[in-house]
Amino acid sequence: MFWTKYENLCEQNSLKPRDVARELEIAPATVTKWKNGAVPNYEMLSKIANYFSVTVDYLVNEEDIDINLKEKRKSGVFKTLLAIPERWASLRRGGTIDTAQMLRIMEYVNCDMYFINNRQIIEYKPAGEYQIEHIFDTETLHDILDIMDCCADSNAYQDLQIQLSRIALYHLNQKGYSSEKLLADLHLHSAKLRFLYTGVENKDKTINYGLNYSDLSMLRQETGLSYQYMFTGIEQTLIEIYKNSNK
C-alpha cells in the first residue's frame, strides 16, 4: 500500500524512489524495507508527505481519499485533514492476549483454539451449539472491539484479528450479506475482503489484515446488525426469549 503510493508519486514527478529517499536523507536499506512491505514511522511519513505536497493519510490509507468540494464544505475538509495526525497518533499497538482472555473470547464467539490461531483456516464453523449465557459477557465484546481497533504488533495478534473478521463475515452471510454483495455494495477495501474470503495473500502485505474497527462500524451502520450479532450470530429476539424464560 505505502510503497505503491510512494512509487506512483515518484513516477508522476519523473523521479526515482531511491533518489527521493537520498534527498530526504533516508538510507537505501530503508527503501528496500518499504518495497518489501514495511511502513515508515510518522516522522518519516510527514517528510515524504511534505515533499510531495500530499497528506500522511493519503500515504497510508488503503483507499485514495476522494474529496468532492462541491458536496462538502471546504471548512469540513480542512478539519478532516487536520484531524488525521491526531487519529494516527491515537492508534494503539496490540501484541499479546493472555490465556484467560483468549478463552473468554473463544467462548463468546463459539470457536476452538485451532481456528482462532490459524489464518490458514478460511471457513469458520461454530464449535457447537451456542451457550447463550456467554452473550451477556459485554466486557469480552468490548475486548474484541478493542482488539480490532489496535495495530497488530505480532503475527499471532494479526491472526486473531483475521479469524475474528472471518467470524463476523460468516454471520453477515447468514443475513444475506454474501461476499459478492459486500464487494459490490459496501465501501470496504476489496483486496482485503478477497484475502479474508480466499486466504490468497495480496502482494501488498499491508492489506493482508483483518477488518478494523472503522470497517466494523461501517458494516453496523450499513446493515443495521449489531456488533453482538456479528461476533455471535445471536439475534436480540433470542436474547429476550432467554431472559424471559429465566425470570
pLDDT at 112: 94
C-alpha 56: how far from its chain's center?
18
pLDDT at 78: 53
Sites in the chain below the pLDDT cut of 70? 1, 61-95, 186, 237-247
C-alpha 123: how far from its chain's center?
19
Matching residue, cell 481519499: 65
Domain boundaries, the chain: 2-64, 99-245
Task: Tell me what the pLDDT averaged over the chain comes to.
Answer: 82
Q: How far apart are CA 112 and CA 106, in angstroms?
A: 6
Which CATH class name applies to 2-64? Answer: mainly alpha
In degrees, rounded to 5, the angle at the alpha carbon of residue 165 between the alpha carbons of residues 55 and 163 is 120
CB 29 within 8 A of CB 14: no
